[in-house]
């Protein structure tokens, strides 16, 4: 199905099932422990051995020798496969770092061996007996030291966030010089880890030349193609299966060493092998969100109109990697005739930097929305009103190109009213409750809507059950449920008559889970397949397709009706299609918007910060399931608190690794850190987006939250911290007098 004109009235608009806050259909499997994750596929891969991955102990250099003699004779050991046993494997288009093979070390904890044994404990024990000798080389591990010489480099996250090396609109330099009110500040964000609950894990098995990998992957189509290329296999000889995923946040968009080494180990021992990366390898061997150094300059008239906007960002990555696209949102969020954005990329020898939830906008909004707060204070304008004053209904860099929907002002106004923003103390450090300094902060939220081709297959059987098959994944976001809701709405069936099967590369290729594009696109693909199935049913029953209605498990046309199941009495009816998009995205800018509001309390003696309440008001097209959408947003808000207050991978700039590479040292928010969270969805449909008239919301809930927390801390204390995370050591010496 080609979607190249705005959506009109269609069966989804009935909203008998879609749009309702239904429980997740996979919830009972998750809560009973019966959802089979990749490492637990005992059902499909019996008698599996266990692989334990050994990571390099240097950040740059070469492997000179690997002594495997002690490991090979250890109890239970079946094989030891080392990086010196083979030349470097091919690198897929989605990988920057090599995953295995050859002596060269690009980054710390790059895989150098996998030890295979009968049990996990035996494999781990034998792995500790390996002796690896290295030739260490000097590496570049310090972004601050490398930033000055970093060249201009453009980039695209492949998730809706992109920017050129440098873009100019109008005359920024002249407008900034002439502006009566100016801001020029530099901010930093740290390296961050995905820290998902389920580590990267795979079970691999061979049948002749055919490889099956049960893995934890967000993008099945990418993963299948990439493992085929990496191992030199024909794509048709690879099957990838990932029905359940215990979190990913972008860290499982791409093929990683667990899948490759499970496949190599299974080939070596002639039986299935399980491989899971340890926490240190999740941090250092996979991908992370790169640190940034960002400079923002704003110029405005005295009445608050922005006349000059510049946002420049520097990040680092391995050779061949991409920059963190932290300036992307600044190209679209606020009006201003004279504009400059640029990105620089320093070549570092740290582990690979790549997509993490809301790549680009997450660290970019953490900075831009502090700068907007600082500018509002300089102007003496309320921060909410300052943002409203500089709203735009068209792409500010492409005048005449409207937003398909843009309700940012409504998000901010409704958020301010619900939060009680009018009661905010405007004097920083001016409100106390005992030993606690109380502050309120806000920020705009922004994230682009990305359209991605997505397919599905639907099948009706003689019992009136419709089965949906697509390689779409569910990373905890509720894909099973909204896909089932879509099929139920289209076919006029109750939810218990829908079966959804996901994550298998034998199924039609979908958009996959990433960039908050999964829900809208995958359901649109199911919509397209259901349109075909409805046509097949109508033809089979001999009805007039012009006025046919599917409802209550019946098919009606005029004064005739028949059970839906009757169409499949001679055998199942099947239909397959995909949603493909025309050029509407070129004619309209498609984005999502939010207003984030936060209250914090800061201990006047210690600088300890406690978030006390949070509100997000979101405009993101049709909300397919308010319950699961709310869960996505509050999870994103929680991640925003982590980025603001806790999360930072600490770099050992001597040896090139992340020191706090486990969940003891890498701090993330826990239940006690998160207060009451309120989420409001504005009533919105976007017919420009898809037949579902939906957009994404999972990353919108993150973008801007960190800045709202930072702005609240400033309001509470009068201390402006521009170096994330805002830990108490950055506050304590500057807090107001306690007496």
**pLDDT tens digits, residue range 310-369?**
999 999 999 999 999 999 999 999 999 999 999 999 999 999 999 999 999 999 999 999
Q: Is the pLDDT assigned to residue 739 strictly greater than 80?
A: no
For residue 631, give Cα distances in angstroms to 31, 515, 627, 644. Answer: 16, 17, 6, 20
Structural domain containing residue 579? 2-35+451-584
Q: For the chain, what is the mean pLDDT?
A: 97
The pLDDT score that the predictor gives to residue 704 is: 98
Phi, psi of 388 (to 5 degrees): -65, -40
Question: Any idea what DSSP says for residue 514?
Answer: -
358, 447 contact by CB (below 8 A): yes
Residue after which a domain boundary falls, among 251, 283, 315: 283
Cross-strand pairs, 339:
169, 309
Cα radius of gyration (the chain): 27
pLDDT (tens digit per residue) in 688-700: 999 999 999 999 9
Same domain, 12 and 87: no
- For residue 545, the model assigns a pLDDT of 80
Convert the pLDDT of each residue in 241-298 to its tens digit: 999 999 999 999 999 999 999 999 999 999 999 999 999 999 999 999 999 999 999 9
**Domain-located, residue 627:** yes
Give the pLDDT band of residue 566 (cuts 50, 70, 90).
very high
CA distance 332 to 448: 9
Q: Is 384 inside any structural domain?
A: no
- Please check whether residues 100 and 230 belong to one and the same domain: yes
650 lies in the same domain as 727: yes
Record the pTM: 0.98
**What DSSP line would sit under 492-531, residue for residue?**
T--GGGEEEEESBTTSPP---S-TT-HHHHHHHHHHHHHH
DSSP notation for 140-172: ---HHHHGGGPPB--EE-SSS-EE-SEEEES-H
Structure tokens at 48: 């599996």
- 485 by Cβ neighbours in 10 Å (0-12 / 13-18 / 19+) ranks as buried
Domain end, chosen from 222, 252, 283, is at: 283
* Residue whose C-alpha is closest to residue 83's, from 61, 55, 118, 108: 55
- Reported confidence tier of residue 160, pLDDT bands at 50, 70, 90: confident
Q: Where are the alpha helices (DSSP H) in 156-272?
A: 172-178, 220-231, 257-269
What pLDDT is attached to residue 420?
Answer: 98
Q: Tell me the percentage of the chain whose pLDDT exceeds 90.
A: 98
Per-residue pLDDT band for 158 (boundaries 50, 70, 90) equals confident
Per the structure, the count of domains in the chain is 3
Residue 129 confidence (pLDDT): 98
Q: What is the dihedral of CA 79, 80, 81, 85, to 10 degrees?
A: -110
The residue from 283, 315, 334 where one domain ends is 283
Looking at the structure, do residues 624 and 713 belong to the same domain, yes or no?
Answer: yes
615 has a pLDDT exceeding 70: yes
**In a shared domain, residues 575 and 594:** no
In the block, residue with structure tokens 């800061």: 602
The DSSP secondary structure of 62-119, one letter per residue, reads EEEEEE-HHHHTSTTEEEEEEGGGSPPPP--TT-SS--S-SSEE-STT-EEEEEEESS
H or E element at residue 676: strand 676-681
Taking residues 701-713, what's their average pLDDT? 98
Cα dihedral 545, 547, 551, 556 sign: negative
Position 302 in a domain: no
Q: Are strands 560-563 and 111-117 parallel, antiparallel or unpaired?
A: unpaired
Residue located via tokens 């990353």: 699
Q: What is the pLDDT of residue 555?
A: 98
In a domain, 301, yes or no: no
Instruction: Say what the pLDDT of residue 546 is.
Output: 83
The domain spanning residue 15 has which CATH number? 3.30.365.10
- Quick one: tokens of 412? 């901010």
144 pLDDT higher than 90: yes
- CA 627, distance to chain mean position in Å, is 19
Residue 70 maps to a domain: yes
| Closest listed residue to residue 694, CA positions, set 26, 13, 158 | 13
Backbone angles phi, psi at 402, to 5 degrees: -80, 160
Residues 646-663 pLDDT 10s: 999 999 999 999 999 999
Same domain, 97 and 130: yes
User: Does the structure show a pLDDT above 90 at 489?
Assistant: yes
Q: Which residues are catalytic?
A: 699
Give yes or no: residues 103 and 245 share one domain. yes
The verdict on residue 167 lying in a domain is no
Query: For residue 666, what are the contacts with CB-CB under 8 A and spacing of at least 6?
Result: 193, 195, 283, 647, 649, 660
Element (H, E) at 378: helix 361-379
Same domain, 648 and 530: no
461 and 564 assigned to the same domain:
yes
Q: What percent of the chain clears pLDDT 70, i.e. is strictly above it?
A: 100
Same domain assignment for residues 93 and 231: yes
Is residue 127, in this structure, part of any structural domain at all?
Answer: yes
pLDDT tens sequence across 55-97: 999 999 999 999 999 999 999 999 999 999 999 999 999 999 9
Q: Which band of pLDDT confidence, cut at 50, 70 and 90, is reported for residue 476?
A: very high
* Average pLDDT of the residues in 571-600: 97
Token representation of residue 104: 């060269």
Banded pLDDT at 564 (limits 50, 70, 90): very high
Q: Residue 738's pLDDT is what?
A: 81
- 19 and 78 inside one domain: no
In a domain, 630, yes or no: yes
Q: Identify whether residues 599 and 702 lie together within a single domain.
A: yes
Quickly state the pLDDT bin for 707 (edges 50, 70, 90). Answer: very high
Nearest to 63, CA basis, from 84, 40, 92, 42: 84
């Amino acid at each position: 199905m080609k979607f190249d004109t705005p959506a009109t009235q269609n069966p989804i608009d009935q909203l008998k099932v879609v749009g309702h806050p239904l429980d997740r259909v996979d919830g009972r499997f998750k809560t009973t422990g019966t959802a089979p994750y990749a490492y637990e596929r005992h059902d499909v891969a019996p008698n599996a051995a266990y692989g334990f991955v050994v990571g390099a102990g240097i950040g740059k250099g070469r492997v000179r020798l690997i002594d495997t003699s002690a490991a090979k004779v250890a109890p239970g050991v079946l094989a030891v496969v080392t990086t010196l046993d083979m030349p470097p494997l091919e690198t897929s288009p989605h990988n920057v770092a090599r995953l295995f093979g050859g002596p060269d070390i690009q980054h710390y904890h790059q895989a150098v061996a996998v030890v295979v044994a009968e049990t996990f404990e035996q494999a781990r024990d034998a792995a500790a007996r390996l002796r690896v000798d290295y030739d260490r080389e000097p590496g570049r591990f310090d972004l601050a030291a490398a930033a000055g010489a970093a060249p201009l480099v453009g980039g695209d996250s492949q998730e809706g966030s992109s920017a050129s090396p440098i873009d100019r609109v109008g005359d920024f330099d002249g407008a900034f010089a002439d502006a009566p009110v100016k801001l020029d500040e530099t901010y930093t964000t740290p390296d961050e880890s995905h820290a998902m609950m389920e580590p990267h894990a795979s079970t691999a098995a061979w049948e002749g030349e055919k490889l099956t990998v049960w893995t934890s992957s967000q993008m099945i189509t990418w993963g299948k193609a990439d493992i085929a290329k990496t191992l030199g296999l024909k794509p048709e000889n690879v099957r990838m299966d990932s029905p359940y995923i215990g979190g990913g946040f972008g860290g499982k968009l791409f093929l990683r060493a667990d899948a490759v080494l499970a496949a190599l180990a299974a080939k070596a021992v002639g039986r299935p092998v399980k491989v899971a990366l340890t926490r240190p390898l999740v941090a250092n061997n996979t991908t992370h969100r790169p640190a940034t150094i960002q400079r923002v300059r704003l110029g405005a008239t005295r009445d608050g109109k922005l006349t000059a906007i510049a946002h420049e960002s520097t990040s680092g990555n391995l050779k061949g990697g991409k920059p963190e696209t932290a300036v992307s949102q600044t190209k679209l969020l606020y009006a201003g005739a004279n504009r400059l954005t640029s990105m620089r990329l320093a070549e570092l020898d740290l582990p690979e930097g790549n997509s993490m939830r809301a790549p680009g906008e997450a660290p970019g909004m953490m900075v831009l929305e502090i700068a907007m707060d600082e500018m509002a204070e300089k102007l003496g304008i309320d921060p909410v009103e300052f943002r409203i004053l500089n709203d735009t209904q068209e792409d500010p860099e492409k005048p005449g190109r409207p937003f398909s929907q843009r309700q940012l002002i409504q998000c901010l106004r409704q958020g301010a009213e619900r939060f009680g923003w009018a009661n905010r103390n405007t004097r920083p450090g001016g409100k106390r409750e005992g030993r606690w300094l109380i502050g309120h902060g806000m920020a705009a939220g922004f994230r682009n809507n990305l359209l991605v081709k997505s397919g599905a297959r639907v099948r009706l059987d003689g019992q009136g059950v419709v089965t949906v098959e697509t390689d779409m994944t569910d990373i905890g976001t509720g894909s099973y449920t909204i896909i089932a809701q879509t099929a139920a709405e289209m076919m006029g069936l109750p939810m218990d008559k829908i079966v959804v099967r996901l994550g298998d590369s034998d199924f039609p290729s979908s958009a996959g889970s990433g960039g908050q594009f999964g829900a809208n696109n995958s359901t649109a693909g199911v919509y397209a397949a259901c349109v075909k199935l409805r046509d097949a049913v109508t033809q089979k029953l001999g009805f007039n397709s012009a006025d046919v209605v599917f409802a209550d498990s019946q098919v009606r046309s005029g004064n005739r009706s028949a059970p839906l199941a009757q169409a499949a009495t001679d055998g199942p009816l099947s239909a397959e299609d995909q949603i493909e998009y025309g050029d509407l995205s070129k004619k309209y800018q498609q984005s999502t918007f939010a207003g984030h509001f936060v209250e914090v309390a800061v201990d006047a003696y210690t600088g300890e910060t406690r978030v006390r309440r949070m509100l997000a008001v979101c405009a993101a097209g049709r909300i397919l399931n308010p319950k699961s959408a709310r869960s996505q947003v509050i999870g994103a808000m929680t991640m925003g608190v982590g980025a603001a207050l806790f999360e930072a991978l600490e770099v050992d700039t001597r040896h090139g690794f992340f020191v706090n590479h486990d969940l003891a040292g890498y701090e993330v928010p826990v239940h006690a850190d998160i207060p009451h969270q309120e989420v409001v969805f504005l009533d919105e449909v976007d017919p420009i987006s898809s037949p579902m008239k939906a957009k994404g919301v999972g990353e919108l809930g993150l973008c801007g939250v960190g800045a709202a927390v930072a702005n609240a801390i400033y309001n509470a204390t009068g201390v402006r911290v521009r170096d994330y995370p805002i830990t108490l050591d950055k506050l304590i010496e500057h807090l107001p007098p306690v007496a």
